[in-house]
Amino acid sequence: MMLFARLSRVVFSVIALALLGSLADPAHAVTIDWVTVDDAGNAADSTGYGAVAESFRIMKYEFTNQQYTDFLNTVAATDTYSLYNASMGGDATGGITRSGASGSYTYAVKPNMGNKPATYLSWWDGARVANWLMNGAAASSSTETGAYTLNGAISGAAPTRNSGATCYIPTEDQWYMAAYYKGGSTNAGYWDYATQSDTAPATVTALPNGDGSAGSTGNFANYGSVVGNVTTVGTNGGPSAYGAFDMQGNMWEWNDLHGAPNSSRGLRGGDYYQGITTANSRAEDNAASEYSGYGFRLAAPVAVPEPSTSCMALAGLACGGYSLFRRRRTLI
């Protein structure tokens, strides 16, 4: 019965999101896959992380170069808020180039990099994407208000998420639950790795097109510099219990570690370059830091809100070495 109920909610959600997706402006639509993380009221693990009071959605994959390019081409002709890092174009891990002059910048995805995670992203970049999506994802959609009130800031104390946000950077507990919780009840326990395993995943190798060799199954992850670069999302082994891919390796992902205003924010999951991380591995960095292994995925409420006020209106049926710019991380 529990499995049937979960499947029923998923089917309803897909239908609702498809209807909402049809209302989005096709010129600016950003297709996003969401998975539902239920079992609300679950117990935390022995480290005190993972308990979440309400069910939520989280992106199935890390935010990709194609998605970020669509965002840049809509809002960053001048790039007032430093949304583009030059290493996106100059570094092998980066997947986006920029041309033109300020006021008429245009952005393009590098060959074969569209479905790889966007890199060199700060917490502030993720917050602006969340605002933009929440406000309709059009050229006129504000990046400064919505989920977060940013007021033009690109550094300093990262603000608290606003009440009623319908697209946002997940809390650390939400990210942790989506990655490691076994699911199926409120006391199911946690895996050590986000591939539904207590055994360290094997490292993938990269195919000529940059896909991970494991596909979307098995206990694999992109880490340890064996691949030496980011790989296509969803091709580096099996997902978490809720269906979210690459929460182990590929990219460190931003979370709202503090929640309250603070200059630093949390990171989870590890990246393509370093050794394997476990559920006990946490990191913290200045929210303005940008690095070849920093990216994000967004979260959203389960309830489908009005299309005029939510990134969910754009969701649709989507089924379909260290850089010179590296910033110091503090492992905690």
- Give the confidence band of 311 by pLDDT, cuts at 50, 70, 90: low
- Give the confidence band of 66 by pLDDT, cuts at 50, 70, 90: very high
- Give the confidence band of 25 by pLDDT, cuts at 50, 70, 90: very low
What is the pLDDT, as a whole number, of residue 18?
Answer: 36
The amino acid sitting at 2 is: M
Tokens of 258: 């503090």
Better-scored residue on pLDDT, 82 or 31: 82
- Does residue 36 sit in helix, strand or coil? strand
| pLDDT of 284 above 60 | yes
3-state DSSP helix/strand/coil % of the chain, to nearest 5:
20, 15, 65
Q: Average pLDDT in the 58-67 region?
A: 98
Q: Average pLDDT in the 87-96 region?
A: 96
Q: Which of 10-19, 70-79, 141-150, 215-224 has the lowest mean pLDDT?
A: 10-19
Q: Which of 68-72, 87-91, 206-210, 320-324 has the lowest mean pLDDT?
A: 320-324
| pLDDT of 157 above 50 | yes
Q: Cα 91 vs. chain centroid, distance in angstroms?
A: 21
- Give the start-end residues of each E strand in 163-261: 202-203, 220-221, 252-255
Q: Which residues of 218-246 are buried (b: 16+ CB within 10 A; e: fewer)?
A: bbbbbbbeebebbbbbbbbbbbbbbbbbb
| pLDDT of 37 above 80 | yes
What is the pLDDT, as a whole number, of residue 310?
Answer: 42
The amino acid sitting at 21 is: G
What is the pLDDT, as a whole number, of residue 304?
Answer: 53
Q: Measure the CA–CA gap between 278 and 194, rounded to whole angstroms.
A: 8
Please report, to the nearest 10 degrees, the dihedral formed by the alpha carbons of residues 104, 109, 110, 112 taken in order. -170
Instruction: List the domain boundaries for the chain.
Output: 1-332
CB 158 within 8 A of CB 123: yes
Q: Measure the CA–CA gap between 231 and 233, rounded to whole angstroms.
A: 6
| pLDDT of 205 above 70 | yes
1-332 maps to CATH 3.40.1120.10: no
CB 257 within 8 A of CB 266: yes
Give the whole-number percent of the chain exceeding pLDDT 70: 83
Secondary structure (DSSP) of 69-119: HHHHHHH-SS-TT----THHHHSTT--EEEES-TTS-EEEEPTT-TTSBP-
| pLDDT of 11 above 90 | no
Phi and psi at residue 291, in whole multiples of 5°?
Answer: -150, 155
- Give the confidence band of 227 by pLDDT, cuts at 50, 70, 90: confident
What is the pLDDT, as a whole number, of residue 155?
Answer: 97
What is the pLDDT, as a whole number, of residue 45?
Answer: 96
Better-scored residue on pLDDT, 303 or 160: 160
- The per-residue pLDDT of the chain, averaged, comes to 86
- For residue range 159-181, list pLDDT tens digits in order: 999 999 999 999 999 999 999 99
Q: Which residues of 279-302 are buried (b: 16+ CB within 10 A; e: fewer)?
A: bebbbbbbbbbbbbbbbbbbbbbb
What is the pLDDT, as a whole number, of residue 4?
Answer: 40
Q: What is the DSSP letter of 179?
A: H
What is the pLDDT, as a whole number, of residue 314?
Answer: 44
CB 64 within 8 A of CB 117: yes
| pLDDT of 10 above 50 | no
